[in-house]
Amino acid sequence: MFRKISVVIMGLVLLVAGFGNVNAYNVKPGEILEYKVMVKSVIHGGNQTVKVIGFENYKNREVIRVRSTVTTVGLANQLTGYTETEEALLDAEEMYPVYFRREIRDNKKNEVDEVSFDYRRKVAVRVNSETGKPEERTEIKLPGTLHDGLSLQFFFRKAELKPGQHKLYFYSNGKVKDIAYTVRGVNRKLQLECGIFPGYLQVENPGVDITILLSDNEERYPLIIRKISNIGKFEAKLQKVK
């Protein structure tokens, strides 16, 4: 169950975009976003932290290193011991991933998914290992630049997108999908522990029952992420920005 939660938070969590011209948001080394994950709206099931580590050079290109960590808390942690950590290198200009490593741990197993993207050759190399299984190395064809859950939040915080329907290529668990979603502005006050917002941007993906509320300002913080699945409702709320 909590693996599905983390996909919501880290993955489809962030299919968001603002209106008009390129956003003024600039990546800030040291920035930290902290989220509280609620299960079925009432159970505090976990926490997520997203951090900008800083800029560096990778294969003769400037990239930014970012890290996301998801951990269960309370009874959920006692039952599952679930944690998920992803560290990614994103192109410093367009925020698509050139490399990432995701590790998932729980009481039963440990899984590592490591992917290197070569957009010139239009292939990605994936190395996947899981407790009790042999390591698998595969090549994935790339239709163009794409995103995974972690890179999306940084890409859309500065992307040029308009109201209406949009598409992008999305990577998850060794597969690339063409995903469509809609964006609209909402003129309604939203109050969270991290602050009060007079309006926000709402992004929906009906095909996978996902709704995201995004701050309508230069920072474009992902504020709330909601998902309906066959086991209930998940909601991640932004608690603090450092």
7 vs 98, 121, 171, 205, 208, CA distance in Å? 20, 28, 12, 14, 12
Can you give the pTM of this predicted structure? Answer: 0.83
Which burial class, exposed, middle or buried, applies to 206 when counting CB atoms under 10 A from its CB (0-12, 13-18, 19+)? exposed
Q: Helices (DSSP H) in the chain: which residue ranges?
A: 2-6, 74-80, 149-156
Summarize the confidence of residues 150-156 as an average pLDDT. 84
Which tokens belong to 181?
Answer: 């979603």
In this model, does residue 182 exceed pLDDT 80?
yes
Phi, psi angle pair for 233, to nearest 5°: -105, 135
For residue 192, the model assigns a pLDDT of 94
Lowest mean pLDDT, pick from 91-95, 198-202, 211-215: 211-215
Pairwise pLDDT comparison (118 vs 163), residue with the higher score: 118
- pLDDT at 124 (0 to 100): 97
Amino acid letter at 50?
V
Look at residue 14 and tell me whether its pLDDT is greater than 50: no
Mean pLDDT of 164-183: 88
One-letter amino acid of 110: N
DSSP per position, 131-147: TTEEEEEEEEE-SS--B
Q: Which residue has the higher pLDDT, 4 or 191?
A: 191
pLDDT of residue 199: 92
**Residue 139 in this model has a pLDDT that exceeds 90:** yes
DSSP 164-212: EEEEEEEEETTEEEEEEEEEEEE---EEETTEEES-EEEEEEGGGTEEE
Q: Binning pLDDT at 50, 70 and 90, where does residue 132 land?
A: confident
Q: What is the pLDDT of residues 15-48, one digit of tens each?
A: 444 343 456 678 899 999 999 988 776 788 889 9
CA distance linking residue 14 with residue 53, whole number of Å: 19
Pair 195, 221: CB distance under 8 Å? no
Range with the poorest average pLDDT among 160-164, 171-175, 177-181, 196-200: 160-164
- Model confidence at 4: pLDDT above 90: no
- In this prediction, residue 3 has a pLDDT band, given cuts at 50, 70 and 90, of low
Q: Once rounded to an integer, what is the mean pLDDT over residues 155-166?
A: 80
